[in-house]
Amino acid sequence: MKLTYKPLTVKNWNDFETLFGERGACGGCWCMAWRLKSSQFEKQKGNGNKKSMKHLVENKEQIGVVAYDGKTPVGWCSFAPREKYLRLENSKVLSPVDDKAVWSITCFFMAKDYRRKGVSSELLKFAIEFCKKKKVKILEGYPTVPYSNTIPAAFAWTGIPASFERAGFVEVARRSKARPIMRYYL
C-alpha cells in the first residue's frame, strides 16, 4: 500500500469530514479532546467540537495530516506544538519532562479497513519528515500500552508504543503504567 499525505487545510476539510464520519471519529471528538479543558470538551461534544476544529483549520493552524490511499482518506495523525494542547499542560501523568520546546503527537484515527496495517507507523514517519522541515527539534508522543494482543480502536487513539518504537521514538518518562512519554530527537 502506497499512501500519500496532506496537511489538513480548508482545501481538504471535506476529506477529513469523510474520514471522521458522522460521529467525529469517536464520540463527537473531532480531535479536540487534547485541545480543550475537559469541561469545555464535554459541553461542546459533537457539532461544537467540529466547529472548533474547523475554526482552527480556517485560521491556518498546524493541526495534523490526512493519509490517502489513492484519493480516499484513510488515516489521520494530529501533531502541533505542545502548548496547543491544553489537556497536556494540565496532566500530571503527561506533564513536561523538561523545559525544551516539543511538538506533540496526540491522536490517530484510521478508517476501519486500514486498522492494524501499519498506517500509524507510516503517519509517524511522515510527521517526523514534516517536523524536520519546520526545524522542530523534539517530537513527543503519548501512546497507550495495550494489556493484551488486541486493543479496541477507541482506546488506541494515541497510538501504541510499538508503532512509535518502529518509527525511532524512545521512552523518556513514565509516570503511569499505561502511558509512557516517548520522544524522537530530530
Q: Which residues pair with 110 in a beta bridge?
A: 75
**Whole-angstrom Cα Rg for the chain:** 15
Which tens digits make up the pLDDT trace of 44-84? 999 999 999 999 999 999 899 999 999 999 999 999 999 99
Mean pLDDT for all residues in the chain: 91
Cβ proximity of 120 and 105 under 8 Å: no
The domains located in the chain, with CATH, are 3-185 (3.40.630.30)
Mean pLDDT value across residues 95-115: 94
Q: Is the predicted pLDDT of residue 114 greater than 70, yes or no?
A: yes
Mean pLDDT value across residues 18-27: 87
Which tens digits make up the pLDDT trace of 119-146? 989 999 999 999 999 999 999 999 998 7
pLDDT score, position 4: 96
pLDDT score, position 116: 83
Sign of CA pseudo-dihedral 140, 172, 96, 179: positive
Amino acid at 31: C
Give the predicted TM-score (pTM) of the model.
Answer: 0.91
Grid cell, residue 69, equals 490511499
